Amino acid sequence: MCRFPIRFLKCKKMLLPNLYQVIEKKVIDADAVSVTVAVNKNHRVFEGHFPNNPVMPGVCMLQIIKELSEEHLETSLFLQKTSNVKFTAVMNPQIQSNLTVNLSFIREEDSIKIKNTSTFPDGTVVLKCNAIFVETNRVHENG
């Protein structure tokens, strides 16, 4: 069972249950949101990445972006393309477990463009990327 401390967030299934918990969500407008998550430093993903020196896998950060985007947009998404993906700081959850994910959305005819900047609370940029998602019903419609 999934539990969020903020009641306005719907409970949904995560790809990696209990990897993170939303601790704050600020809706800027319909096309932008800032979400702070607390990463579970004891999650099993860190047992292998890396033993005694845990590092948040980049693919997990991208999955968090996808899940937070789905939550805000209230739709299921399929990652079509990423560009300008830059990991600029290592996230060791034993040292820094909070991450603020800033997302802006541009809806186009067949896709949703997402711009992301993820930072530590002190403002240190951890990840910047652009991604193009399609809604999953469109994936099935288009083959």
Residue 50: what pLDDT?
85
Per-residue pLDDT, averaged over 70-87, amounts to 96
Cis bond before residue 120 (omega within 30° of 0): no
CATH architecture of 20-141: Roll (3.10)
Per-residue pLDDT, averaged over 18-45, amounts to 96
Distance CA 65, CA 114 (A): 9
Distances (CA, A) of 45 to 12, 48, 51, 107: 20, 6, 10, 33
Distance CA 42, CA 120 (A): 19
**Residue boundaries of the structural domains of the chain:** 20-141
Distance CA 118, CA 139 (A): 27
Output the six-digit token pair for 107: 């809806």
Question: Average model confidence (pLDDT) for the chain?
Answer: 89
Cβ contact 79:133 at 8 Å: yes
Q: Which ranges of 2-143 does DSSP label H, i.e. alpha helix?
A: 45-48, 58-73, 136-141
pLDDT single digits (tens) 108-125: 999 999 999 999 999 999
Residue 12: what pLDDT?
60
Per-residue pLDDT, averaged over 29-55, amounts to 93
Stretch (H or E) spanning 143:
none
